[in-house]
Amino acid sequence: MELTLAILLTIITAATPLLLAATGELVVERSGVLNLGVEGMMIMGAVGGFVMAYLTGNPLLGIAFAVLLGMAMALLFGFLVLTFATNQYATGLALTILGLGLAALIGEGFVGRAGIRPPNLYIPGISDIPFIGPLLFGRDVLFYISITLVAGVMWFLFRTRQGLTLRAIGDNHHSAHALGIKVIRYRYLAVLFGGACAGLAGAHLSLVYTPQWSENMTAGRGWIALALVVFASWRPLRVLAGAYLFGAVSIGQLHAQAIGIAIPSQALSALPYVATIIVLVIISQNRRLTMINTPASLGKSFVPDR
C-alpha cells in the first residue's frame, strides 16, 4: 500500500505541470490561436518563480511572479501575432528560443541552489486518513489550482456565453467579427490566460517537482503539453486524463530504471516523448474525430476589415 501511494504521489507531481500548461493552451487554441511558445513561457515561469522565492523566502510570491512572467511572454506573443498578424508558427518557435536563452541568462547565478517548496495542504483529521488523506488532502497548492482550472475551463467553455463566443471565434473569426464580436480582444485574453497557466507550470517544476533551478529544466514538457491538447481533442476532461497518463509514463520509466530493467537509461528517458509521437500518430488516423473538434480558424491570422 505504501509503495502504491508513493507511486501515485509521484505521478500527480509529474502530471501537474503538464495539466497546467495544456489547460491554458487548450483555451488559446479554442480561440483560434496556435501558440508554439509554451516551452518558452514555462521556462521563464520556472526561473522567475525560483528566483523570486529564493530572494524573498516566500514561495507564494515566486508563484505569483512566475504567472506575471508567463503573461509577459504571452503578451509579447499576442502583440506580434494579433496586432501585427505575424505567422503564428514562426512566432511561437521564436518565443521558445527567446525564453530558453533568457531563462539561462537570468538563472546563471542560481544554478545548484536549494529552492523553497510551498507548503502542502494539511487539514487536521482529513489529511491523516490512511491513503486517501495524503493523496488528495495533503498536496501542494498548484495541484489544487490545476484541478480547479480544468473544472473552471470546462464550465466556461460549455456553460457560459463568453465561452460560446470564444469557441465561435475559433471556428470562424470572420463570421464572429461580422456579428460585432471583438475577436482580437477575446484572443488577447485567451493568450494571456495561456501564458499565466504556462507560468504556473514552470513554477511547479522549479518549486515543487524539483525545488531548484537548472538550465532547460522544462525538458520538452511544453511540447508534450501541446500534444496533449491534440490528444484530448480540445476537451478539458480529456486533457486531465491525458496529463495523468503521460505523468504515469514519465514516472514509469524512472521506476523501471530503479528496479534495474536491462534497457539503456537513455531509451527509458525517451519513453515519454516516444509515447507522445505514438499517440499523435494514432489520433491522426481518425481524421473524422480530429476534424470535428479542431477549431477551424486555428493558426490563421485575423486582421479586422480585411
Output the DSSP codes for 31-48. TT---TTHHHHHHHHHHH
Q: What is the structure's pLDDT at 260?
A: 65
pLDDT at residue 266, rounded to an integer: 67
Whether 32 maps to a domain, the answer reads yes
Q: What is the pLDDT of residues 139-198, one digit of tens each?
A: 899 999 999 999 999 999 999 999 999 999 999 999 999 999 999 999 999 999 999 999
**Residue 190 sits in a domain of what CATH number?**
1.10.3470
The rounded mean pLDDT for the chain is 89
The answer to whether residue 300 sits within a structural domain is no
Does 115 reside within a domain? yes
Asked if the structure places residue 248 within a domain, the reply is yes
Q: What is the pLDDT of residues 218-263, one digit of tens each?
A: 988 999 999 899 888 899 999 999 899 888 887 776 666 666 666 6
**128 lies in a domain?**
yes
For the stretch 149-174, what's the b/e string if a residue is b when 16 or more beta carbons lie within 10 angstroms of its beta carbon? bbeebbebbeeeeebebbbbbbbebe
- pLDDT above 90 covers a percentage of the chain that reads 65
The answer on pLDDT for 41 being more than 60 is yes
Question: For residue 104, what is its C-alpha cell?
Answer: 539561462
The reply to whether 298 falls in a domain is no
Where helices occur in the chain by DSSP H, the ranges are 2-30, 38-56, 59-78, 88-106, 132-136, 141-159, 161-171, 173-178, 183-204, 221-231, 236-258, 265-269, 271-285, 287-293
Is 303 within a domain?
Answer: no
Confidence of residue 209 (pLDDT cuts 50, 70, 90): very high
CA separation for the pair 194, 199 (Å, rounded): 9
Per-residue pLDDT for 282 more than 80?
no
pLDDT band at 4 (very low <50, low <70, confident <90, very high): confident
In this predicted structure, the answer to whether residue 30 has a pLDDT above a threshold of 70 is: yes
Find the domain containing 245 and state its range.
2-293
Tell me, what's the pLDDT at 261?
A: 66
- pTM score, whole prediction: 0.92
Residue 306 has pLDDT above 60, yes or no: no
Task: Give the model confidence (pLDDT) of 118-150 as tens digits.
Answer: 988 888 888 878 888 888 888 899 999 999 999
Q: Which distant-in-sequence residues (6+ apart) come within 8 Å of 132 by Cβ?
A: none
Please count the other Cβ atoms lying within 10 Å of the Cβ belonging to residue 248.
Answer: 19
In the block, which residue shows the cell 478539458?
236
Question: Is residue 297 helix, strand or coil?
Answer: coil
**Domain count of the fold of the chain:** 1
pLDDT the model gives residue 51: 96
Q: What distance, in Å, lies between the first and last C-alpha atoms of the chain?
A: 63
Q: What does the pLDDT read at residue 7?
A: 83
- pLDDT value for 161: 96
Nearest to 206 by CA among 96, 73, 74, 70: 70
Residue 304 lies in a domain: no
